[in-house]
Structure 1
């Protein structure tokens, strides 16, 4: 009798372990499928995206076997963050279960960060910054290349370790209002240099107004420190 009870207990134990293993395998496979389909649904390079915090609490029967999964998004993924999706399970080509799940989409991009403290008005140099891989949250507009930041001016104090957003910087003003500037007047056959007075501040490539020594108002493109190119 005791031996029979022992064998029954052993059988029950292995049955429970088999159910646990099946449930674990099903959940692992389901997590993989949902994450993979979410990854494919994002508009970014898959190497830049991570899917985590996957919540399958709507999946109540972990021992249900399935041979196909379909993930449906209520709306396209346009930004990183939490998403809610509909998950359908199929067996033999027939949908037998449908539930809601959620996950977090994380987007990683190259980002420029400050190495040194940058005061307002500081011209940013190569030793002030470095390029790292960082998570991009929400719709913030961050700088993603060193060339985008070099030579720019800090519009506000920036601390070491801060990711430099585009709103933090502005082009360096190479011409200041009221200063004497060199006017390079160019035509198809003639190039003449003269002096004038800048009537506006200007960064490289900007068109600003100036006055010649005779008082005539002209417009020129900032080409360098204290220089305007005037086309006729």
Structure 2
């Protein structure tokens, strides 16, 4: 079976989430955030289809986080970004559930209607897999430009078919840009995509190469206050130059 992972959390909360290993349930949500000139979140926007109990927990957590203020002409100004927040529900020894909310990053918001790239048929027949990075700029009008594709690991060559597939899909994508002082701005993005075959395990050399690459990615994310879960699951897009950089992002526990 072919898979393409794309960018594309008590009991009441848990009932709304997908089940994962060891009964831990988690999901990443995108929350719009209004940030004032001091770097504090003053307002949030959660998608209408998110259950009200989860939306309230997300909004409360996001409002406790802070950013280095955006600037215009050297002066701090208000800004708007989209925060990716991972809500995780895990049972404890007493049988109760602990809810934790982690900051996963911020930047533009990609449309849910964006169609992921197709798994190249010839690559699937040849049992080829790929762990890919798309670098692109989200322009103020929401289009993507300046696109380049490369392997997530320097030690894992990238067949051309995967590059072609990613670029064909990404040319059709759209995003809602970040805003500074009311004006839409461009943001450079790095978007991971994994092309895997369920019946094709990684070789020892491939697994080692990916572990090395992902350790580097996770180290960079943690330095910026982000959080990653299991190895090989860091599939969140990263804003390379968001006008709002994280400052105080402790995980929230409920």
TM > 0.5 between the two? no
TM-score by length of 2: 0.22
**Greater RCO, 1 or 2 (C-alpha within 8 Å, sep 6+):** 2
> Which has the higher Rg, Structure 1 or Structure 2?
1
TM-score by length of 1: 0.24
